[in-house]
Amino acid sequence: MQRRTWLKLGLGSAAVMAVAAAGLVLTQKGLDQAGRLGPAGKQIFSALGAALLEGSLPQDASARQIALNGLLERVDQLILALPPHAQDELSQLLMILSSPVGRLGLAGLSTDWPEATVLQLQEALHNMRFSKLALKRQVYAALHDMTGAAYFSDASTWMQLGYPGPLKI
CA contacts within 13 A on the Cβ side of 115:
7
The mean pLDDT value for 118-146 works out to 97
Taking only the tens place, the pLDDT of each residue in 46-74 is 999 999 999 999 999 999 999 999 999 99
Q: Are 116 and 109 in contact (CB under 8 A)?
A: yes
Position 118, amino acid: V
Rg of the chain over Cα atoms, rounded to whole angstroms, equals 19
CA distance 140 to 135: 9
Beta bridge partners of 31: 37
Would you place residue 161 in the very low, low, confident or very high pLDDT band (cuts 50, 70, 90)? confident
Q: Are 72 and 46 in contact (CB under 8 A)?
A: yes
CA distance 123 to 140: 12
Taking only the tens place, the pLDDT of each residue in 8-30 is 666 666 655 655 555 554 445 67
With H, G, I as helix, E, B as strand and everything else as coil, classify residue 139: helix
List Cβ neighbours of 36 (8 Å cut-off, separation of 6 or more).
Answer: 76, 79, 80
Would you place residue 154 in the very low, low, confident or very high pLDDT band (cuts 50, 70, 90)? very high
Q: What is the pTM of this model?
A: 0.81
